[in-house]
Amino acid sequence: MTKSELRKKIKDIPLDAVYKITASEIIRKKVLSSEMFEKADTIFSYVSTDREPDTREIIKKALSLGKKVCVPKCREKPNMDLIYIDSLDCLSEARFGLMEPASGEKALTEDIDLAIIPCVSVTEDGIRLGHGGGYYDKFMENFTGTNMCLCFKKLMREDLPKEQHDINVNVVSD
């Protein structure tokens, strides 16, 4: 099965609202209590969509603790800028329905201690199936900090293909 076919198959798995809320809460608590989060001064995180574990509360907590937080602003494939934010209020809907800042100070990849990476699916040992744009693959090529991938357990698989350029992630699930 190709990556595109796998993405479609996984995106067809139903996730009811109660499960998403409950699972997101479990994942949030794991992230916030993790040593990776506690030690990080600067965090890069995607802003979650409906089929992803909620990252908004994680971002808010990081900001309230005085951590620096940056989020992606997509440019032409597969490039994105990492933009510092001080509140979720600066985000507005952009391409693909993603929430992004209109502008702001750019973070440097080397300044980030913890990167929270999205996925469609991931294996227990960190083989990640992304959304197919290549944005995070490109980001992780030069990232030397700690990464963390959040995934609903119902969307995790053990048969994901791994290509030579793929970088494993630390997995947090419900």
SS3 100: strand
According to the model, what pLDDT value does residue 163 have?
A: 85
According to the model, what pLDDT value does residue 110 have?
A: 96
According to the model, what pLDDT value does residue 129 have?
A: 95
pTM for the model? 0.94
Cα–Cα distance for residue pair 119/129, rounded to 1 Å: 6
Encoded tokens for 64? 């309230």
According to the model, what pLDDT value does residue 96 have?
A: 74
Condensed to tens digits (0 to 9), the pLDDT of residues 109-162 reads 999 999 999 999 999 999 999 999 899 999 999 899 999 999 999 999 998 998
According to the model, what pLDDT value does residue 62 have?
A: 98
Helix axes 56-64, 17-32, angle to 10 degrees: 30
Instruction: Among 3.40.50.10420, 3.40.50.620, 2.40.128.20, 1.10.3720.10, name the CATH number for the domain at 3-173.
Output: 3.40.50.10420
According to the model, what pLDDT value does residue 55 have?
A: 98
